[in-house]
Structure 1
Amino acid sequence: MSKSVATHTATSLGLAAMPVVFVLLWSTGFIGAKFGLPYAEPFTFLFVRFVLTLALLLPIVLLMRISWPQGAKLWAHIGVSGLLVHGTYLGGVFYGIYLGMPAGLASLLVGLQPLLTAACAGPLLNERLTSRQWLGLGLGLLGITLVLGSKLELGESLFQGFGMGALFSVLAALAGISLGTLYQKRFCTTMPLLSGAVIQYVAAGLLLGLGALLFETRQIDWTPTFILTLGWLVLILSIAAILLLMALIKRGEASRVASLFYLVPPVTALQAWWLFDERLPLLGLGGMAVAIIGVVLVVHKGKNTSSRR
């Protein structure tokens, strides 16, 4: 095999793997929360993450001379989407895990975002659901019911290890990412990806900073584990994943990324089992599979959802 052919083959394999790599990176966000939250309260943790992200992302935008959104109105819309997509979503997920919810279950609940988005798209965006999408919605609800019911199968309390506060927090995260997706699609279609992300992170950072100021002690235990976890979330999740998404969109691969998001819950569950011994019984694993099938039916037919972290 010639050197040029080998190089072309390696490049092709690399491009083909990019969507999968993106989803794998995305799934580690839930694991990062589990690793870091013993050393910092959730709003404080996220505020520091956003500050460090902005310190790295803003120079990239300036050096690359990326254009900024045009008009104060668009800036305001992007800020609102940031409050929902980053502030409410990440704040809810981190707070739910902080209160004891398993990372795998949190991933599955917010992984239902395409279902909720599709259900809300009709009245909010005048988008009609197909029969297959309605089937997907039903399967998604059935799947999550089976997952939660599997805890009762083992004779455990439905909220073993966490309370209603954790459940409400993660459901708020689900509502935030779903409404944020719809809001961004309605009002932010012309948003430049990276400069728009800067505005979103500023808005979300202000919200979470206020939450840390009002409700937390703002104490951080700067252990090696916390520093490494924070570095991973900033560099890999908030920077590298966005740059990878930008490259995928440029190559016309955004739809492929969206269709792969249904892999996030099982990948997260596998990581949580390996790292934290979080387990689901057979009924729970079956429920996860049913929920994933439901999401696939909705995404493949509707193509009206996307996710951000």
Structure 2
Amino acid sequence: MPLLFVVIWSTGFIVAKFGLPYAPPLTFLLLRFVGVLLVLVPIVLLMRAPWPLGQIRHIAVAGVLLQAGYLAGVWCAIKLGMPAGVSALIVGMQPILTAFAAPLIGESVKPRQWLGLLFGICGVGLVVAAKISLIGLSWQSIALCVLGLLSITLGTLYQKRNCAHFDLRTGTIIQFSASIVVLLPFAIFYEHLGPTLDTVQWTPRFVGALLWSILALSIGAIFLLFALIRKSAATRVTSLLYLTPPTTALMAWMIFGEAFSLLGMIGMLVAVLGVAFVVKK
């Protein structure tokens, strides 16, 4: 399950590269969230899945942080010119932040795990070193990416502490519904989103990216993430994100022909070693 999660989660930057040229970031995310509801609501009604009535508020807050805050921050940063390598490095700080905050949710981080976290961030740095370009980088894009980092970190900790156990089908509907409510005003104001969706170019590449985002990322990967949060310590789960930039770089090399240097290969091995230090019991 962790390996499958890493592979699917790593396609996020690939999807952004396919989809963002044809739609503004918040509009794309809203279409993605609405698509999730169109898939899950009939399933929930058909299967009569239980609703977590006593946890709705906590689940909604965690969803806004994990979905709206994280994705909007990173996608808007990329749209403003943030290189994928830099954004991956910034978001790659999440396991470190989660480890520092672990005592707040009753978890402890062992010295071996701290060593693994440091190995992981070094590995991520080596992978994206060749792709990092700070020329022309705006403070807005940096701020948005840091917002995404803080949002997914807080969301992971909040969900682990307040609502780790709930029915994934109905809980996901609650989270994406709350995210739509939060993002919709921003999309209308900043991206001039209207009922005709005239800011969207419905090309085959865009439709493919949207469908993959709905089915694989927002349903498949999120279900796996929530299952991992439910079963494992937050530090162990977030350390898997160290494997995302190396895996994404490998995918970009295979799909787009982007350079994947020897330094990147060494970084991938270092990141894998770091994750092994963290998750090994």
Q: Bin the TM-score by the shorter chain.
A: 0.7 to 0.9
1:264 to 237, 244, 255: 244
Partner of 1:306 in structure 2? none
Query: What are the equivalent positions in structure 2 for 1:275-286 lying under 5 Å apart?
Result: 275-279=255-259, 281-286=261-266
**Range with greater deviation from structure 2 (196-205 or 210-219):** 210-219
Q: CA separation of 1:226/1:149 partners in 2, compared to 1, >3 Å: closer, same or farther?
A: closer
**Range with greater deviation from structure 2 (85-94 or 141-150):** 141-150
Q: CA separation of 1:174/1:298 partners in 2, compared to 1, >3 Å: closer, same or farther?
A: farther
Partner of 1:172 in structure 2? 147
Mapped to 2, the partners of 1:126 and 1:241 lie a distance apart of 26
Q: Retained in 1: the 8 A contact 2:121–2:242? A: no
CA-CA distance at 1:227 after TM superposition: 1.3
CA-CA distance at 1:150 after TM superposition: 4.7
Partner of 2:75 in structure 1? 94
> Gapped runs of 5+ residues in structure 1?
1-17, 152-156, 302-309
Partner of 2:111 in structure 1? 131
Mapped to 1, the partners of 2:84 and 2:133 lie a distance apart of 16
**Range with greater deviation from structure 2 (223-232 or 138-147):** 138-147
2:21 to 38, 46, 60: 38
CA-CA distance at 1:296 after TM superposition: 3.5
Mapped to 2, the partners of 1:254 and 1:137 lie a distance apart of 16
**Root mean square deviation of aligned Cα:** 3.1
User: 1:31-90: per-residue Cα shift (whole Å, max 9, x none)?
Assistant: 11111000111111101110111111111111111100132xx21111110111111111
CA-CA distance at 1:119 after TM superposition: 1.8
For these two proteins, the number of residue pairs brought into alignment is 272
Residue 115 in structure 1 maps to residue 96 in structure 2: yes
> Gapped runs of 5+ residues in structure 2?
194-198
**Range with greater deviation from structure 2 (258-267 or 80-89):** 258-267
SS across alignment from 1:38: helix
Q: Retained in 2: the 8 A contact 1:147–1:284? A: yes
1:226 to 184, 199, 206: 206
Mapped to 1, the partners of 2:220 and 2:122 lie a distance apart of 35
Q: Retained in 2: the 8 A contact 1:86–1:204? A: yes
Query: What are the equivalent positions in structure 2 for 1:12-27 lying under 5 Å apart?
Result: 20-27=3-10
Residue 216 in structure 1 maps to residue 168 in structure 2: no
Partner of 2:36 in structure 1? 53
Aligned AA for 2:21? P
CA-CA distance at 1:287 after TM superposition: 4.1
Aligned AA for 2:77? G
Mapped to 1, the partners of 2:223 and 2:113 lie a distance apart of 31
Q: CA separation of 1:119/1:289 partners in 2, compared to 1, >3 Å: closer, same or farther?
A: farther
Partner of 2:61 in structure 1? 80
SS across alignment from 1:56: helix
SS across alignment from 2:280: helix
Q: CA separation of 1:270/1:148 partners in 2, compared to 1, >3 Å: closer, same or farther?
A: closer
CA-CA distance at 1:197 after TM superposition: 0.7
TM-score w.r.t. length of structure 1 = 0.75
TM-score w.r.t. length of structure 2 = 0.82
Mapped to 1, the partners of 2:225 and 2:145 lie a distance apart of 25
